[in-house]
């Protein structure tokens, strides 16, 4: 899951000089993920993983890193 997220984010949303060195806990917001990017990311996640991520949960803590994104997706896959 994280590989697909990484590929999409670093190819489509955020430029990072060395994405392979960006940790799973690295701050995506500090790296340049903005509100438009977050909306594109959510659409990608919903299409890719067949989940619905509630608008009420779109907050920095859920999109800050690859680890928090993965946890957010997993919570909704189980529900």
d(CA 33, CA 61): 13
d(CA 66, CA 46): 16
What's the pLDDT at 79? Answer: 55
State the CATH class of domain 2-8+26-78. Answer: mainly alpha
pLDDT of 43-76, one tens digit each? Answer: 999 999 999 999 999 999 999 999 999 999 999 9
SS3 21: helix
pTM beyond 0.75, yes or no? yes
Q: In angstroms, what CA-CA distances link 2 with 56, 60, 69?
A: 23, 18, 9
Domain boundaries, the chain: 2-8+26-78
């Amino acid at each position: 899951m994280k590989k697909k997220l990484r590929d999409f984010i670093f190819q489509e949303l955020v430029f990072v000089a060395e994405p392979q060195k960006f940790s799973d806990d690295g701050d995506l917001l500090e790296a340049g993920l903005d509100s438009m990017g977050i909306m594109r990311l959510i659409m990608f996640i919903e299409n890719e993983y067949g989940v619905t991520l509630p608008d009420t949960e779109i907050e920095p803590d859920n999109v800050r890193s690859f680890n928090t994104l993965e946890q957010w997706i997993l919570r909704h896959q189980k529900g």
